[in-house]
Amino acid sequence: MVKRGLRFSSLFHTKFIILLYNEVMKKILVVEDEPAICELLVNYLKNEGYEVASAEDGVSALSLFAKETFDLVILDIMIPKIDGYGVCEVVKKQSDVPVIFLSALGDEQSLLKGYDCMADDYVTKPFSMPVFLRKVRAVLRREDAADTGKSSNLTVYGNISMNADTMEVIAGGKSVELTSREFDLLALLLKHPGRVFTREVLLDMLWDYNAFVDERIVDSHIKNLRHKLGEEGNCIETVRGRGYKVAKEDL
């Protein structure tokens, strides 16, 4: 038991908190073709208490992903054989494993393409390692929260029902597959009908360390939700100049 009066060095305190969080060691796949950067990432992540595997090209990455179970993929975009976008699309089609892009491509088009691939975060090189490690921790924490459920198990709005225990969504009588982030976003909106959520507030609630995240990632996730929900997706309204909401149901 750690008493409040004890003092720790900054490094020890950080590692202590991480070890408490990682009661079961998280496994991370690093996909990076620059040996120096790959080695740096692997060493830092291992030092933080994670189990780490690495690949230098898209084919090797997908082969590893098919054979082993990962909790997070850190993915460069400009990698040989299959680029990062292609790898991300396969990962997201096959699983809900979160993906963080780590790339030298910092232009708007590249960022938007990354978000459209349903990446959970996008970090540009050069980057701050302490900030990056906190992003990793935040993404993994969100995934754990989504797995355990954070409030009531069942949410019903109109023809949409959501089960937090099973991550199942039924819209218009049809099963809908959502990523964990899309699920959290939809659940938040449906549980607060009539309330307008600004992009900034949504980032604060669902994307930790939002100062380093482009607000357009919210727009991309809303677009994906509407598409997947079909006609039922029309319940998500855009409030110009403010954000998004779902209307209060008629009594």
pLDDT tens across 194-223, in order? 888 888 888 878 876 444 667 788 999 999
- Please state which of the ranges 47-51, 80-84, 96-100, 139-143 shows the lowest mean pLDDT: 139-143
For position 46, what pLDDT does the model report?
93
Average pLDDT, the chain: 84
The 3-state secondary structure of 170-218, one letter per residue: EECCEEECCCHHHHHHHHHHHCCCCCCEEHHHHHHHHCCCHHHCCCHHH
The pTM (predicted TM-score) of the whole model is: 0.56
For position 212, what pLDDT does the model report?
61
Calculate the alpha carbon distances from 9 to 12, 13, 45, 48, 178 in Å. 5, 6, 19, 15, 41
Environment class of 212 (CB within 10 Å of its CB; exposed 0-12, middle 13-18, buried 19+): middle
For position 56, what pLDDT does the model report?
97
Identify residue 182 by its one-letter amino acid code. E
Inter-axis angle of helices 180-190 and 199-206, nearest 10: 120
pLDDT, tens only, 25-47? 789 999 999 999 999 999 999 99
Q: Is the pLDDT of residue 141 over 60?
A: yes
For position 41, what pLDDT does the model report?
97
For position 69, what pLDDT does the model report?
86
For position 52, what pLDDT does the model report?
96
pLDDT, tens only, 144-176? 765 554 445 788 898 999 998 888 999 999 999
Q: Is the pLDDT of residue 3 over 60?
A: no
- Please state which of the ranges 8-17, 89-98, 217-226 shows the lowest mean pLDDT: 8-17
Calculate the alpha carbon distances from 57 to 10, 54, 76, 191 in Å. 36, 9, 9, 42
**Residue located via tokens 């963080």:** 100
